[in-house]
Amino acid sequence: MPLSNSDQRNRNFRFRLGVATVLMLLAILAVVLRIMDLEILHYSKFRTLAYDNHVALVPVAPPRGLVLAEHGEVLAENQPTYALEITPDQVPHLQETLQRLQQMLDLSADDMRRFQDLRQGKPDFDPVVLKANLTSTQIATVAVRALDLPGVRVVALLHRYYPYDALFSHVVGYVGPVTAADLKNFHARNYVGRNYIGKSGLERYYERQIRGTMGYRIKDIDARGLQVGTLREVPAQPGDNLLTHLRLRVQQAGAEALQKDKGYRGAIVALDPDNGAVLAMVTSPSFNANWFVDGISKTHWQSLLDNPERPLMNRADNGLYPPGSCAKPFYSIEAIQEGIITPDFHTFCAGNYQLGGHTYWDWNRAGFGNTGLTKALAWSVDVFYYKLAVKMGIAMQDKTLWRFGFGKAPPIDLPGGANGLVPTPAWKRKHLHAHWYTGDSVILGIGQGYLLETPLQLARAVAALANGGYLVQPQVAKALINQSTGQTKAIPHAQPVNLHISVTAMHAVHKGMEACVTIGTCHTISIPGITIAGKTGTAQVPVGYKNGRTIYNNDSLFIGWAPVHHPKIAVAVVVEYGGHNAWQALPVARAVIKAYLQPDEKTPEKVAEKPAAHYDAPLAIGEKGSVNPRPAYPMTP
């Protein structure tokens, strides 16, 4: 029976009502599910987002620990200053803002380049310094336009400063802006909001101890991003102060002595022979560490790179030099220890030594006649050590050098450090594709040939002679001082290595090195009231070419300690191209020893203007065969 129009309308109505009801129920279900998602499943996430909508978490960098000399002089400090910071993710149009700030504040291209470099590897929520050390005019210029510069603010911060400029640059080091490369070795979380990180020297080695612990401040902000209050603050913990063994007066005396008259290149290392404490570490020339704090300018950087004196090089522990006659005391120790010679051994020393058709000249071509160990050390008799080298042989020579710490970088609380080179027959075959000859040993016997050492290695080795045969571990830092509590935590010294040197061998070499100062080649280092033992060294290095021949110059070296029987300081000095018979190294070493043992007297003394009379005999070029640690440049005829 067909439906009536009324029934059809009712049926259609019920159908539409059912569909509407289902849709409404589905909509209600969707709303309920969404509410559950927001209020239950993702409650913490959206609560944080809502909270962050009116608060800002601001990291607070701690004050960096100071670096102090042993008597409390500040070598690295923090000075209050103002800087312009930009938080990139808070700046709507970053490039436009940067251009505007550059015009407003007259910023240089170096400022803009540094800002872009500092952004690399940092999250956009981390503020980046655009300009440090703002002037009062620049601060006022930014302040009056603060509302138009979102994400840009002037902040007060502590700026790293080195009061002695270049004097301690290589040993204390310097800080610089944090880069992505730095964060490969340090956790990025610890450097959010920080401006600096240690780049070299003690600043780098003790970075974790002196950087401090980050704090933070939770600020209440309004819709325009301006602070209206502080909700919570966790203060930053300042880094520990680093107390060192360095003596300011000794460092100054050494640096001034090197810079007298000609301004020599070279290095000085002074150690306490008992424990290896570094009393001074001088490299000349040096550089101003303050240039690097905010990122070095292109002009300054290029001036350092173009400087032929290479001021960036730490010559004290990276400069490689033939030790020359400074190696002779160590061969003497080993020769007596192994029974090759006795302390009273004598041999006739003419002005040269003949071997296989070659002539090896003594520095004094007139010769020294009958010579024993004391005379050989006092007057640095080359022929004595040519003969001794042949008696010892290369195996024992190498054993001697390794025993006293040559050929490997000394363990010290500074980054880097060169190994030097102790040549062996295997090394020569591998690198020069040649056999080792007796003549190579002869040259090695006077500290030349392929042998290369650092001033730090020489200072460590002579300290072992001074203290009776113990190889100490050099250490610059003395203690960490907590800035909050004032508590001092000493940094312990490593136990020295006992070289087991016999009293007989040690006494014989001490006698010769003391005679070197009283009557021999070191006599100009003498200081009234102080007994000194020492050894001069002269090392030939090629410096260029002329008329098809190699032109040589001489590095001046000195190693020694004082007082002789109760040693308090061991010193190694290298003066590049300082002249024959170490006449330029001696007054430098004298100034350092005097500054340490007689601090109340005026130092340093003037460097000698000419060598002593008995230094006049020229050093023979012939068969010295030295290897140059520095490049040789052609010389015009």
Cα–Cα distances (Å) from 235 to 50, 125, 211, in that order, read 25, 20, 14
Antiparallel, parallel or unpaired: β 196-198 and 488-490? unpaired
Cα 241 from Cα 362, distance rounded (Å): 52
Q: Is 4 annotated in the active site?
A: no
Q: For residue 87, which amino acid is it? A: T
Which one-letter DSSP state was computed for residue 341?
Answer: S
Whose tokens are 């010559």? That residue is: 315
Give the burial class of 223: count Cβ atoms within 10 A of its Cβ; 0-12 exposed, 13-18 middle, 19 or more buried: exposed
Q: What is the DSSP string of 543-590?
A: EEEETTEEEEEEEEEEEEEESSSS--EEEEEEETT--GGGTTHHHHHH
Residues linked to residue 533 through DSSP beta bridges, in sequence order: 561
For residues 617 and 626, the answer to whether their CB atoms sit within 8 Å is no
Cα–Cα distances (Å) from 484 to 76, 77, 478, 479, 488, in that order, read 18, 16, 19, 15, 11
Residues 6+ positions from 313 with CB-CB distance below 8 Å: 283, 319
Residues 6+ positions from 18 with CB-CB distance below 8 Å: none
Taking each helix axis from N to C terminus, what angle separates 455-466 and 503-518, rounded to the nearest 10 degrees?
110
Residues 6+ positions from 4 with CB-CB distance below 8 Å: none
Q: Which of 200, 286, 325, 441 is an active site residue?
A: 325
Give the SS3 label for residue 537: strand
Residue 602 CA, distance from chain mean position? 30
Antiparallel, parallel or unpaired: β 67-68 and 633-634? unpaired
Q: For residue 295, give both structure tokens.
A: 């990122």
- Catalytic residue positions? 325
